Chain A
Amino acid sequence: SQTIHQWPATLVQPVGSPLSLECTVEGTSNPNLYWYRQAAGRGLQLLFYSVGIGQISSEVPQNLSASRPQDRQFILSSKKLLLSDSGFYLCAWSVNPNQPQHFGDGTRLSIL
């Protein structure tokens, strides 16, 4: 069966520090991968998605970037965090666009 792992579960970072959140999927090949941010009361905001290695689509211009160095690995990064980057970050995968997305347990990011 397929599983998705996200880490870390929680992270506290100072303003201006770098960020790296990692997501890996097991049990499937060539999944579509997604990064979302969830702010309180504002639903899910799609940040990036990828349909293959090295292919990244950005939905919202911002302080973040994403990379897909391997088929089942998706990384969310920032060179310098802002206070506004605080939130709950979710990674998801799907077999294809017409199938459901399956979510990881999320990373709670707090910026001080």
Chain B
Amino acid sequence: AQSVTQPDIHITVSEGASLELRCNYSYGATPYLFWYVQSPGQGLQLLLKYLSGDTLVQGIKGFEAEFKRSQSSFNLRKPSVHWSDAAEYFCAVGAGGSEKLVFGKGTKLTVNP
């Protein structure tokens, strides 16, 4: 069965600084990978997805992520963080033949002015 680890529970960055949120997965074959963002009291919004092909994927709000098979990672990046990016971020992995996604426990992002 697949699993996901988000090593950082809470990250604080200054506005305008770059951001990288880590995600490591465990799965024997090529997974389907997703990043979601959740603002307080809201549902989850899809930021980007990797299903196949180009390992560098672009998403909404200026985010990108890179699938690295050798490291079993799918880290989320943004070159310059805005105060509105403060939220909780979830990485999720799916596997062929399974109807389910497995979510990481999330990383809470705080943005300092």
User: A residues touching B (Cβ–Cβ < 8 Å)?
Assistant: 6, 32, 34, 41-44, 46, 49, 51, 57, 59, 88, 90, 92, 97-106, 108
User: B residues touching A (Cβ–Cβ < 8 Å)?
Assistant: 32, 34, 36, 41-46, 49, 51, 90, 92, 94, 96-101, 103-106
* Inter-subunit contact B43/A103 (CB<8 Å): yes
Bound-state CA distance A88–B34 (Å) is: 21
Question: What are 23 A-B contacts with C-beta separation under 8 Å?
Answer: A42-B105, A43-B90, A43-B104, A43-B106, A44-B44, A44-B90, A44-B103, A49-B99, A51-B99, A57-B99, A59-B100, A90-B43, A92-B44, A97-B96, A97-B97, A97-B98, A97-B100, A98-B51, A98-B94, A100-B46, A101-B34, A101-B92, A105-B43
Besides the known contacts A49-B100, A105-B43, 13 further A-B residue pairs in the complex with CB atoms under 8 A apart:
A6-B43, A42-B105, A43-B106, A44-B90, A90-B44, A97-B98, A97-B100, A98-B32, A98-B94, A100-B46, A103-B43, A103-B45, A106-B41
Contact of A32 among B49, B99, B105 (CB under 8 A): B99
* Inter-subunit contact A106/B42 (CB<8 Å): yes
Which residues from chain B contact A108 at a C-beta distance below 8 Å?
41
Contact of B100 among A46, A88, A100 (CB under 8 A): A46
Contact of B49 among A88, A100, A104, A106 (CB under 8 A): A100
Bound-state CA distance A12–B39 (Å) is: 22
Bound-state CA distance A94–B2 (Å) is: 19
What is the minimal beta-carbon distance from B50 to any residue of chain A, in angstroms? 11
Which residues from chain A contact B96 at a C-beta distance below 8 Å?
97-98
A-B CB proximity, top 3 nearest: A103-B43, A43-B105, A103-B44
Bound-state CA distance A55–B32 (Å) is: 24
What is the minimal beta-carbon distance from A34 to any residue of chain B, in angstroms? 8
